[in-house]
């Protein structure tokens, strides 16, 4: 968030920042489906990006209860650009990501074509138009603003190409980790990054951060529009990413791992009615908590089968909160599942090494402590929890 200072100031610094905010399946389509339903992936059945979401969503229920609804940006990788019926206003593109940031092909309220301009600014302008329309209507509104930035082809706006030219390389302690023999084979088989590989990652990182600058300015304009229309302090605003990504940590440059770089995301909520003073919340929250939050705060009847919990519960003194979270992933990105407590994470990978990390001692997950005697009792406790939570079970390692 240090590269999105306007968003930091206008949302994070005016609400609650979740220091332990996670996505339960760190992969685009499954994660978004969890946001839309409040369900773990093993329950909504969107396990990979090609799977279609066949269950009702919170957006559908809001529209049926009288909300004016919109989506501007990405929907799901498995969806075409065709408007979904639960949205009254629709601006989107085909599949997971558009091929270009300049002159993208979009479907804007049923009109398909190539639109001139820069995609982040096109999306911004439609958000402003949606908010104008919403402010003139009697019913409440709900908007999903889901920009593709900084996804590849991570093309910065031309005016931002000069940014961060002196950016130091990203070299945390687990970058290009020297010994990864204690990791599962899908990771331990990776060769050390050479100079060319490191330069490639550094180039991607620079382009992604430059690409965020236009999004940051766009969010500022959106917040200003909400203020002008008188809706700002009456509007629940939730900000997060659908997954993280590796920039060379553990020799990796992808996502959908069980490591913090992949599963932990920027996550904040601004809503003065509920959070009158900004603060940092350390309890475990996740993408599965967004739908139940919206159900509760909108007064919309909530389905009984939701896995997540309303974030409003964090502000009720008599309500207990979770002590652990299930994380899970499926092939082709690997079949693993984990229990995360905030301090500890226990990971099982199908027919491979199991892992355990004390994040308080080893935040970069350098040393797999699965065989360390002092953690035997804690590992057994987390293994039991994983067996209770996981569906389907993973075969025991050989």
Residue ranges of domains in the chain, CATH in brackets:
5-27+55-308 (3.40.720.10)
The per-residue pLDDT for 318 is: 85
> Is 379:356 a contact under the CB 8 Å cutoff?
yes
CA-CA-CA-CA torsion sign (28, 95, 207, 255): positive
Which parts of the chain register pLDDT below 50?
A: 396-398
The rounded distance, in Å, linking the Cα atoms of 345 and 385 is 12
**In the prediction, which pLDDT does 394 show?**
52
| Residue 398, pLDDT score | 43
Residue 397 pLDDT? 45
3-state secondary structure (DSSP) of residue 286: strand
Helix (H, G, I), strand (E, B) or coil at 106: strand
Q: Which residues pair with 119 in a beta bridge?
A: none
Q: Is pTM, for the whole model, over 0.85?
A: yes
CA distance 101 to 116: 10
What per-residue confidence (pLDDT) applies to 396?
Answer: 46
Helix axes 28-37, 290-298, angle to 10 degrees: 20
Task: Name the residue among 380, 220, 239 with its Cα closest to residue 311.
Answer: 239
Instruction: Quote the DSSP letter at residue 175.
Output: B
Dist CA 322 CA 20 (whole Å): 12
Confidence at residue 395, expressed as pLDDT on a 0 to 100 scale: 52
Torsion (CA) 351, 77, 212, 130 in degrees, nearest 10 = -140
Task: Please state, in angstroms and rounded to a whole number, the distance separating the CA atoms of residues 115 and 105.
Answer: 6
In eight-state DSSP terms, residue 151 is: S
* Sequence-separated (6 or more) residues with CB below 8 Å from residue 86: 57, 59, 60, 63, 69
> What is d(CA 335, CA 350) in angstroms, rounded to the nearest whole number?
6
pLDDT for res 186: 86
Closest CA to 144 of 311, 264, 294, 302: 294
Nearest Cα to Cα of residue 145 among 68, 90, 107: 90
* Angle (deg, nearest 10), helices 119-135 and 195-228: 20
């Amino acid at each position: 968030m240090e590269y999105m200072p306007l968003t930091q100031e206008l949302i994070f610094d005016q609400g609650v920042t979740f220091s332990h905010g996670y996505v339960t399946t760190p992969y685009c389509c499954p994660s978004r489906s969890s946001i839309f339903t409040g369900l773990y992936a093993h329950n909504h059945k969107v396990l990979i990006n090609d799977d279609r979401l066949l269950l009702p969503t919170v957006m559908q229920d809001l529209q049926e209860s009288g909300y004016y609804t919109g989506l501007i940006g990405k929907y799901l990788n498995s969806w075409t650009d065709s408007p979904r019926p639960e949205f009254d206003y629709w601006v989107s593109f085909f599949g997971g990501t558009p091929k270009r940031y300049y002159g993208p092909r979009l479907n804007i309220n049923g009109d398909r074509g190539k639109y001139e301009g820069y995609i982040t600014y096109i999306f911004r302008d439609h958000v402003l138009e949606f908010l104008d329309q919403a402010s003139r209507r009697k019913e409440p509104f709900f908007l999903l603003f889901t920009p593709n930035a900084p996804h590849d082809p991570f093309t910065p706006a031309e005016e931002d190409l000069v940014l961060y030219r002196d950016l130091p390389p990203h070299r945390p302690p687990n970058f290009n980790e020297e010994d990864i023999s204690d990791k599962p084979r899908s990771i331990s088989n990776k060769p050390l990054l050479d100079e060319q590989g490191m330069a490639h990652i550094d180039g991607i990182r620079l382009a992604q951060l430059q690409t965020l600058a236009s999004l940051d300015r766009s969010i500022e304009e959106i917040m200003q529009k909400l203020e002008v229309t008188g809706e700002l302090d009456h509007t629940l605003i939730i900000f997060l990413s659908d997954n993280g990504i590796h920039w060379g940590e553990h020799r990796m440059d992808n996502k959908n791992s069980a490591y913090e770089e992949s599963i932990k995301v920027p996550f904040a909520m601004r809503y003065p009615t509920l959070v009158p003073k900004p603060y940092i919340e350390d309890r475990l929250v996740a993408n599965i908590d967004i739908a139940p939050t919206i159900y509760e705060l909108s007064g919309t009847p909530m389905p009984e089968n939701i896995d997540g919990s309303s974030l409003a519960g964090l502000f009720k003194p008599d309500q207990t909160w979770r002590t652990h979270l299930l994380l899970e992933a499926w092939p082709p990105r690997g079949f693993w599942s984990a229990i995360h407590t905030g301090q500890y994470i226990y990971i099982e990978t199908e027919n491979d090494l199991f892992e355990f990390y004390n994040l308080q001692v080893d935040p970069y997950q350098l040393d797999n402590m699965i065989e360390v005697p002092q953690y035997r009792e804690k590992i057994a406790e987390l293994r039991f929890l994983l067996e209770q939570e996981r569906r389907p079970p993973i075969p025991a390692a050989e």
